[in-house]
Amino acid sequence: MDDIARLAMGSCLFASMSENDVRKLIGCISTARRNFICGETIIREGDSTACAGIILKGAVRAEKHLYSGERSIEAYHGAGSLFGDVLMSARNAASPVDVIACEDTEVLFVSIDKIMHSCPESCAAHERLRMNLLNELSEKFWTLRKKLNYLRIKSMRGRIATYLLELFSQSGAVTVKCLPRDDTAALLGVNRSALSREIGRMRSDGLIDVDGKLVTLLDIEALKRCTMN
């Protein structure tokens, strides 16, 4: 349990809590601890669930297969993140996406019923837990809005520039780590080959430099102008 508590401390669900509180809450709300290999499906489209998952190690992505045969990345979650909380809170709603392990991943599942119903001690940590869940649901809503904002940008260069500038804003560093190329294409709603060609053009134009998943932003102001197209 101590090992799980230390790994779970970084989760938004346990924000502003002591390790002792986290340890007690895990004993109260957890249902299972499972390992998934890279590429394994954790939640299938059409499934319903009363549990959400805290990523102890690894990462997952939520993706939807379109009628065109392409896929759209709806969300990406790394270690410490919570996934399935919107679906869990909706009770019997069917999942609109597949949730897939991006790498070997360890997940602690927690129950909505156990989160919403106070423990016998009616502890303050349990109240904090529910508030944290509400904050996370709100954050997911705004993330979805951001995805829609990508799709509103007409030019591919504008979408790429917007994505890179958001990573820059989050990290404060001009060298940012992007998602794998396939996942980036799906997130931005563009074709992978076309994305690679446009990134090559942006590199030739002196806007960025690329080294695998690492992209260095060479001209911030020029990238900002790209977002207006």
Q: What is the pLDDT of residues 153-183, one digit of tens each?
A: 989 999 999 999 999 998 889 999 998 888 8
Q: What is the pLDDT of residues 120-154, one digit of tens each?
A: 665 788 888 889 888 888 877 776 777 788 888 98
| Mean pLDDT for the stretch of residues 105-128 | 82
Q: Specify whether the CB–CB gap between 49 and 91 falls below 8 A.
A: no
- Token pair for 167: 């990573």
Strand 82-83 with 71-77, pairing: unpaired
Residue 108 predicted with pLDDT over 90: yes
CA-wise closest residue to 177 among 160, 158, 164, 161: 164
- Helix ranges (H only) for 58-216 are 85-89, 112-116, 124-152, 156-171, 181-188, 192-204
Higher model confidence: residue 57 or residue 8?
57
- What is the predicted pLDDT for the residue at 105? 97
What is this structure's pTM?
A: 0.64
Tokens matching residue 134: 């509400």
Report residue 33 as tokens: 């601890």
